[in-house]
Amino acid sequence: MRGKHSVFIFSLLSVLLLSSILLHLSSGETSVGFMDFVHAVFSFDEQQTPQVLIRELRIPRLTMAIVAGGALAVSGMMMQSLFQNPLAGPYVLGISAGSSLFVAVTLLLGLPTFLMDIGIIFSAILGAALFSLVILFLSYRIQSQVSLLLAGLMLGSFTGALVGILQSLSQAEQLKQFVIWSMGSLQNTSFDQLSWILSLFILGSLLSMLTVKPLNALVLGERSAHHLGIHLKKTRILLISITALLTGITTAYCGPLAFVGLAVPNLTKMLFRTQNHRLLLPGNLLIGALFMVLADALIQLLEPVILIPINALTSLVGAPFVLYIVFKKQR
């Protein structure tokens, strides 16, 4: 029965994701035809306005929605399994804050070496990696999971203070660029950048497949995982590296997106009713992508009335769900 349930959920999610992609591509004030999409990808003509709109705006925006949703969901799943806490995630633990800090240094100080795309991605990944190591170190010193989450929040507050200082030292144009970035957006990429971003995302997703067995063992606890032959130190390093990579590429181009990496993994567990990461991994990729594509499609539909930053919408949806998880855990 459980196998049939998983097949049904995967089939349903695939149909919903495909439908949401079609909805996303058809959203916007300017209507375009299906053949315009085909020509924009395979025989691009810069003289054709619909093709330019699709190639430079709609396809990059859709791709980043899929990448951001899938990357943050998988990162959150790995952090929750590593720390054995359903309230862990890149944003709550301060990992996104570390990534944001290094991007802030790049954007606000305008370091020439880091003005290229690869520099921004490198800064974001480096910041996420360093702060992940800090959280891992604190997890050895702090036994209480609640205290660990508070430490992550304090780390985020400390980072916010540093960013505030950097903002006060920056020029007006740099400050404007950073403020817009910090609100979160899926429109900061071009078509030419997608190959680089997708390569890193696919690399992180493939590497995450190597963590299925260790993550399943960690569900039983670190002592049991050790007895099962899992090398805990290597596992932690691998999990942190993948989380840094996936969180870094998302934060670099989309800004700090809240609650996606916290809410989606919990929703995935509820839908699949399992702790088997062989199912949870692709499940998080699908649900994370579905969530972000639908959220951005809704933003585009509401654009004639109100402009909503993607970070605000993910918080509006994610925060109540997280509160539900907290109350459910207390029962």
Cα separation, 138 vs 311, whole angstroms: 28
Per-residue confidence (pLDDT) for residue 252, from 0 to 100:
85
Question: Residue 256 sits in which domain range?
Answer: 2-301
Judge whether 306 lies within some domain. no
Q: Is residue 164 part of a domain?
A: yes
How many domains are contained in the chain? Answer: 1
Residues in the chain with pLDDT < 50? 113-114
CB contact set of 283 (below 8 Å; sequence gap of 6+): 9, 10, 13, 268, 271, 272
In-domain check, residue 317: no
Q: What is the pLDDT of residue 278?
A: 94
CATH number at residue 216: 1.10.3470.10
CA distance 323 to 320: 5
Spell out a b/e string for 211-238, using b for 16 or more CB atoms within 10 Å of the CB, else e.
bebbbbbbeeeeeebeeeebeeeebbeb
Residue 197 in any domain: the answer is yes
pLDDT score, position 326 = 75
Give Cβ neighbours of residue 83 (< 8 Å, ≥ 6 apart).
93, 139, 145, 148
Amino acid at 54: I
DSSP notation for 177-220: HHHHHHT--S-S--GGGHHHHHHHHHHHHHHHHTTHHHHHHHTT
Does residue 13 fall inside a structural domain? yes
pLDDT value of position 93: 80
Query: What's the rounded Cα separation, in Å, for the pair 205 and 291?
Result: 18
Query: What burial class does residue 90 get, using C-beta atoms within 10 Å of its C-beta: 0-12 exposed, 13-18 middle, 19+ buried?
Result: buried
